[in-house]
Structure 1
Amino acid sequence: MTSRILRAWPVGTPIVAALVLVPAFIMHDLGTVAVVVVAVVLAGTILAAVHHAEVVAHRVGEPFGSLVLAVAVTVIEVALIITLSSSGGPKAETLARDTVFSAVMITMNGLVGLAILIGTLRHNTVRFNQEGASAATMTVAALAVLTLVLPTFTTGTDDSSFTTAQLVFVALASLALYGLFVVTQTVAHRDFFLPVNKAGGVLAESEDAHAERPSGRATLTSLGLLLLALVAVVGLAKVESPAIEAGVAAVGFPPSFVGVVIALLILLPEGIAASKAAARNRVQTSLNLAMGSAMASIGLTIPAIAVASFFTDGVLLLGLGSAQIVLLALTIVAAVLTVLPGRATRLQGGVHLVIFAAFIVLSVSP
């Protein structure tokens, strides 16, 4: 019975979401119960969308598989940002920045710290591929500084935004860096990103657990359900956006905390997958998921938002504040010191989780 439910929920959830979307759009004023129902369906649909993207990715193989999953997650992220920004106002100008920065802090500290802690609690010391982890850390650091730190110090505008020429360059540079990393990870140096054994040797793919390749029919079904889920996510996010903003304001949190909520929703599937991989002593897989999500959040979302900004009113503020820059710098330093040895203990996991806790506290009380 339980196995049937586990197999059926990815199929049923997008369909349920589409059915819920119709009356939710018709109703102009959702009650408390309806808001809760829509929120639960929205979270479930995001999980289902990522599941079906993984099925399609597994079928088409690399490097296209990684792109399918990254593009699917980016569509969800961009849709939520644009939807919640539609109300306009000062809070809309910084929503993209807040969401991307939150994604970086959640992945590089929350997911990495949790994965290392889970792995070390079960296996004392965890090992991973130093070459792959270092390459991912370097790429995330470059993307984060170029897109989130640089606009704070440029003089082309009076605020923390890029000029048009600067924004075009940063968008293209982000795509180039992300594309280079995907080629490196999936083609040129794929062995750098495979899990390692206790002695530090790279595991062959046959030694790692892989699901059976889905059939063509299953892939087409997942592709159709993925498209349905993405449409439902965009629509449900539009319906739920007033409740999210009102809920954040009601508890006294600053408007920037909406970006944290979006990032947490998007990264929920990756968090579950990274934790499961760490429990199996596959911390390299956890790092691939965490850092890959951070890279996609910057390298694909920023260019998409940049293009959208040319067709919408308002200013796109990407520059971080001083406290956020300090947290980002501390995150990069901690990540570099974590990955360089190729192994980690509970101490490294604890440090990353403390930095993540500091991010949450400062998000609630700047």
Structure 2
Amino acid sequence: MSAHNATPRSAVIFPALAVLLVALVIGTGYAFTPTPAGLVFAAVLLTVLFGTVFAAVHHAEVIAHEIGEPFGTLLLTLAVTVIEVALIATIMLGDKAAPALARDTVFAVVMIVCNGLVGICIFIGGLRYREQDVQVSGANLYLSVLFTLATITLVLPNFTLTSVGPVYSLGQLGFVSVVTILLYAVFLYTQTERHRDYFIRDSLGFTDDGPKLSRRMLVFSIVLLMVALLSVVLLAKKFSLVVDAGVAATGAPPALAGVLVALLILLPESVAAISAARANDLQKSINLALGSSLATIGLTIPAVAAAASALDKQLVLGLDSQGMVLLLLTFALSMLTFGTGRTNILFGLVHMVVFAVFLLLLFVP
């Protein structure tokens, strides 16, 4: 999708529909219940939410194209993170206790991104171009920070002594939140200022000689991006009720709620990453994929931790033994995949197999 093409109608219509739906819900005081009318509302809500998330990412891409790489990829990642924090906080801190939702969502994001999305991008790129290149230095920075954040937030809580796992004590949670923000902030400085060249591949001859957007169109995209993000935040409560009802009605495992949240927020970014891989720009795919994983841990965990502490809610973070094994396997596989800077279809297939195992164990533990 080119940032210079005319704005798709859907990128305008869905934010408008979201605003209308928010106004109707607030104006009528509608309370979702799993009735036939509620099912119709759920279908409308999910359609509008998915469309609005796609619209938000489109406008973020338009703005990102104007400000260039790697700031553009960073903007996309932050826009998606705002949506993710809103959904997680609303569901986890709602009337029905869901203390493990943040953990389930973060773990699902890591599995979806580092195995599912990365695997698909590498596999598709390998089919079309046999091999594709990525910057080893940039991938190593992504992985070093990601592995550290994932370990101290998803594994270490199982082995602390101050509080019985899988939770941190208030002091430990505060320290971990500060450390995750610090690591993510320094990573952003490294990505955008200190070592920008680690995350940009210009050897393919890609240029940005296209016409720039007019100021009016740029402001239009910024306004619609803000409207879309705010609408998703305001509809998050109803989405949480729909997810709870769906999980209860189907008898699905509670962790499925985290997977659904992860899929909702990652779908537009995943489409952009796969399109980049098809265009032989695997570096952009990796920036989008691994960047979203880092932002999920580096920003979501501290935000949810602050909300949980303020409202005196418990926050469960530690994974079970199966989750820790899958996380360790993902770490090792990612290092092998990006260690040489060249990928092929076998690397992609192995990642997809690990993701399939994750899905299997979700329903058949």
TM-score, normalised on structure 1? 0.91
- Given that 1:63 and 1:187 are in contact with CA atoms closer than 8 Å, whether structure 2 keeps it comes out as no
- How far 1:65 sits from its partner (Å)? 4.5
Amino acid at match of 2:203: L
State whether structure 2 residue 27 is matched by structure 1 residue 28.
no
Paired position in structure 2 for 1:199: none
Paired position in structure 1 for 2:232: 233
Counterpart of 2:316 in 1: which secondary structure?
coil
Paired position in structure 1 for 2:18: 17
Counterpart of 2:9 in 1: which secondary structure?
helix
Q: Which range moves more in the overlay, 223-232 or 328-337?
A: 223-232
Q: Distance in 2 between matches of 1:28 and 1:305?
A: 25
Distance 1:210 1:291, change over 3 A: farther
State whether structure 2 residue 300 is matched by structure 1 residue 305.
no
- Given that 1:54 and 1:69 are in contact with CA atoms closer than 8 Å, whether structure 2 keeps it comes out as yes
- How far 1:210 sits from its partner (Å)? 7.4
Amino acid at match of 1:294: S
Amino acid at match of 2:15: P
Q: Which range moves more in the overlay, 250-259 or 54-63?
A: 54-63
Distance 1:364 1:222, change over 3 A: same
State whether structure 2 residue 55 is matched by structure 1 residue 52.
no
Query: How does 1:246-325 map onto structure 2 within 5 Å?
Result: 246-325=245-324
Identify which of 76, 79, 102 aligns with 1:72: 79
Paired position in structure 2 for 1:198: none
Q: Distance in 2 between matches of 1:231 and 1:74?
A: 13
Distance 1:107 1:33, change over 3 A: same
Superposed structure 1 runs of 4+ greater than 4 Å apart: 3-6, 60-67, 208-212
Paired position in structure 1 for 2:44: 37
Distance 1:249 1:67, change over 3 A: same
- Given that 1:147 and 1:319 are in contact with CA atoms closer than 8 Å, whether structure 2 keeps it comes out as yes
- How far 1:330 sits from its partner (Å)? 0.2
- Given that 2:73 and 2:288 are in contact with CA atoms closer than 8 Å, whether structure 1 keeps it comes out as no
- Given that 1:21 and 1:232 are in contact with CA atoms closer than 8 Å, whether structure 2 keeps it comes out as yes
Paired position in structure 1 for 2:242: 243
RMSD of Structure 2 on Structure 1 (CA): 2.1
Identify which of 100, 106, 115 aligns with 1:109: 115
Counterpart of 2:166 in 1: which secondary structure?
coil
Paired position in structure 1 for 2:131: 125
Distance 1:211 1:272, change over 3 A: farther
Q: Distance in 2 between matches of 1:175 and 1:80?
A: 20
Q: Distance in 1 between matches of 2:115 and 2:300?
A: 20
Counterpart of 1:301 in 2: which secondary structure?
helix
Structure 2 spans left out of the alignment, 5+ residues: none
- How far 1:147 sits from its partner (Å)? 1.2
Distance 1:210 1:188, change over 3 A: farther
- How far 1:60 sits from its partner (Å)? 4.3
Paired position in structure 1 for 2:142: 136
Q: Distance in 2 between matches of 1:214 and 1:143?
A: 38
Identify which of 160, 172, 176 aligns with 2:166: 160
- How far 1:49 sits from its partner (Å)? 1.4
Q: Distance in 2 between matches of 1:337 and 1:107?
A: 16
Counterpart of 2:310 in 1: which secondary structure?
coil
Per-residue deviation, residues 31-87 of structure 1 (Å, max 9, x unmatched): 322210111000111111122223334444567545543332222111101211233
TM-score, normalised on structure 2? 0.91
Paired position in structure 1 for 2:188: 182
Structure 1 spans left out of the alignment, 5+ residues: 196-201
Amino acid at match of 2:305: A
- Given that 1:63 and 1:183 are in contact with CA atoms closer than 8 Å, whether structure 2 keeps it comes out as no
Q: Distance in 1 between matches of 2:70 and 2:6?
A: 32
